[in-house]
Amino acid sequence: MPKPTQHPSWQALARHRDAIAETPIKHWFEQNPARAEQFSAQACGIYLDFSKHRINHDTMTLLLQLAREQHLEQRVQAMYQGEPINTTEQRQVLHVALRSQCGALPDHMADVCRVNEQMARFVEAVHAGHWRGHTGERISDVVNIGIGGSDLGPMMVTQALTPFHKPGIKAHFVSNVDASDLCETLKGLNPATTLFVVASKTFTTTETLTNARSARDWLLADLKHESAVAKHFVAVSVNVEKVKAFGIAEDNIFPMWDWVGGRYSLWSAIGLPIALACGMEHFNALRAGAADMDNHFASAPLEQNLPVILAMLGIWYVNFWDAQSHAILPYDHYLGAFTKYIQQLDMESNGKNAYLDGGYLEHHTGPVIWGEVGTNGQHSFHQLLHQGTRLVPVDFIVALNSHNPLGDHHAQLFANCLSQSRALMLGKSAAQAAAEFEAMGYSPDQAEQLAHHKVMPGNRPSSTLVLEHLTPQTLGALIALYEHKIFVQSVIWGINAFDQWGVELGKQLCNEIHPVLVNKNTEADFDGSTNTLISIYKHAH
Ligand SMILES: O=P(O)(O)OC[C@H]1O[C@](O)(CO)[C@@H](O)[C@@H]1O
């Protein structure tokens, strides 16, 4: 695969950036009354306004030329056709297949439908009270034990779909190996009515297995009989043998496959807590929304292709404007965990420094993803967005309609969202700032001196994504939009978005340090800092 920096479009983009560097976005709005219309696109219940960016038509033409020169369309086909594009693990990347209609899947993927049916039967049995706990009581609480992709996806979606929750059943999520996570979650839960879902693709993740063992101890301390485990523990994993060795009955295992990346797995049985909380119909609607976006991504021209547009705008800022981070700001309380979810999706996928074909990169890749729900972020870190020294492109996400149409709240929320993107773009000039100080009673001299404290440079770019309504369908489309955006960027950068070797060394070192910590007689033989910290820990225990 060619390096992106070798393409004519890359060089042209660098020159183009210099040519437009001094043109503020607001100037383009003044020049072109149709700008908002020309720099917007919509699909799958999502309207994308990307007019408040440092772009003109030439920018988009060059960015899409770069996408073509990097063979984006062929790479998308390769993913959809099941080529092993995760080359460092020799794996296919087929999360899109999990959203397909059963009839559309090839015979060798019949397992996908079987597991869907297994999930549907199980969810129905729990909801109808046919599946009961060891003492015959109905299940009232589901505790998902998993981490990373086996936690963030189902946790984020379950929270986002709160208005669709079924009465009588509550989902909880435990991920951290810090016992406080499990202990605080179990406080107030009744073992007789609690169901644990142990979610781990590999079933080797220490945090998850440690939490699952402690959860089993908690259950058995109350229910006394080993046989209770079969009524209170189910698992989702590729590794059926390891699940059985843990003591979970084969009938209680929901299989998944190595061609689903952990952070792309909420569409598989990893989504079981979503289905238990909201019902299978809503989980299916979520998948249908994602399938809509899959179709859009595969078929829409690049000029109107939402994932491609978002991806190429990201490339523009990372590689041509030196942006180091990207803020995702959902103006929707139910999307409180969305940024955290995208953080793993993006940073674990594109936080890479090696070309697919070998060798180290000559350009930057994934930005730091961060953010918070609006309007809370406005009273926290937006100061830096407006006046800080770093460029931070922003995605604003907002729904047209609220699930809680209370008084004037939604209009205020929407107005705040629009005001932020407008303030970022417009900024405040020195003359405006001085006039404000004068209006506060300062002399013209004082006002002029103070003015620069109020000056906001403006010209700070943002996209606004408007959902008709936050429903399972639009949420599915929104998640798939980001999945594909991240994939597109990986193609442009020439990296593998589907491995995560960078997390392995820490795990290996933990396996070396942990035994030394817990064994009084073993001397630490690491670096000086680690040895000292170990000895401090040992003194305390
Ligand atoms: O589902 P598993 O195998 O427990 O892995 C959990 C998470 O750990 C990671 O491998 C990173 O350590 C993620 O990619 C994954 O989502």
pLDDT digits (tens, 9 = 90+) for 490-499: 999 999 999 9
d(CA 381, CA 64): 33
Give every strand in the sheet of 194-199, ordered side by side.
Answer: 170-174, 141-145, 194-199, 233-237, 253-255
CA of 86 to the centre of ligand 1 (A): 16
Residue 59: closest CA among 409, 363, 480, 461: 461
Ligand 1 pocket check for 175: Cβ under 6 Å: no
Q: Which two tokens stand for residue 428?
A: 């405040």
Q: Residue with the nearest Cα to atom 13 of ligand 1?
A: 148
Ligand 1 pocket check for 153: Cβ under 6 Å: no
Q: Residue with the nearest Cα to atom 16 of ligand 1?
A: 149
Q: How confident is the model at residue 105 (pLDDT cuts 50, 70, 90)?
A: confident
CB-based contacts of 260: which residues, under 8 Å, 6+ apart?
Answer: 94, 95, 98, 201, 267, 268
Residue 467, pLDDT score: 98
Q: Residue with the nearest Cα to atom 8 of ligand 1?
A: 148
CB atoms within 10 A of CB 324: 12
pLDDT at 106 over 90: no
Q: How confident is the model at residue 421 (pLDDT cuts 50, 70, 90)?
A: very high
Residue 2, pLDDT score: 77
Ligand 1 pocket check for 144: Cβ under 6 Å: no
Residue 443, pLDDT score: 98
Residue 144: closest CA among 129, 160, 124, 158: 158
User: Which three-class secondary structure state does DSSP give residue 327?
Assistant: strand
Q: How far is CA 336 from CA 13, 151, 199, 504, in A?
A: 36, 15, 22, 29
Ligand 1 pocket check for 395: Cβ under 6 Å: no
CB contact at 8 A, 281 and 266: no
pLDDT at 409 over 80: yes
d(CA 459, CA 472): 35
Per-residue pLDDT tens over the stretch 306-326: 999 999 999 999 999 999 999
CB contact at 8 A, 41 and 276: no
Per-residue pLDDT tens over the stretch 427-439: 999 999 999 999 9
CA of 202 to the centre of ligand 1 (A): 8
Per-residue pLDDT tens over the stretch 340-384: 999 999 999 999 999 998 899 999 999 999 999 999 999 999 999
CA of 209 to the centre of ligand 1 (A): 12
Q: How confident is the model at residue 101 (pLDDT cuts 50, 70, 90)?
A: confident
Q: Which two tokens stand for residue 58?
A: 């030439």
Per-residue pLDDT tens over the stretch 468-526: 999 999 999 999 999 999 999 999 999 999 999 999 999 999 999 999 999 999 999 99
CB contact at 8 A, 536 and 528: no
Cα 228–chain centre separation: 35
Residue 222, pLDDT score: 98
Mean pLDDT along residues 187-193: 97
CA of 205 to the centre of ligand 1 (A): 7
Residue 104, pLDDT score: 84
* Choice between 325 and 108, residue whose per-residue pLDDT is larger: 325
Q: Which two tokens stand for residue 43?
A: 């699909």
Residue 472, pLDDT score: 98
d(CA 342, CA 345): 5
CB contact at 8 A, 330 and 374: yes
Mean pLDDT along residues 248-262: 95
pLDDT at 389 over 90: yes
d(CA 416, CA 379): 12
Mean pLDDT along residues 32-55: 98
Q: How confident is the model at residue 300 (pLDDT cuts 50, 70, 90)?
A: very high
d(CA 29, CA 36): 8
d(CA 340, CA 149): 11
Give every strand in the sheet of 462-469, ordered side by side.
Answer: 40-43, 46-49, 462-469, 394-401, 325-331, 368-370
Residue 264, pLDDT score: 98
d(CA 59, CA 79): 27
Arithmetic mean of pLDDT over the chain: 97
Residue 103, pLDDT score: 80
CB contact at 8 A, 70 and 492: yes
- Alpha-carbon Rg of the chain, whole angstroms? 26
- Which amino acid, residue 31? Q
Burial class (CB in 10 A: 0-12, 13-18, 19+), 104: exposed
CB atoms within 10 A of CB 322: 10
pLDDT at 1 over 80: no
Q: How confident is the model at residue 26 (pLDDT cuts 50, 70, 90)?
A: very high
Catalytic residues: 348, 379, 507
Share of the chain above pLDDT 90, in %: 97
Share of the chain above pLDDT 70, in %: 100
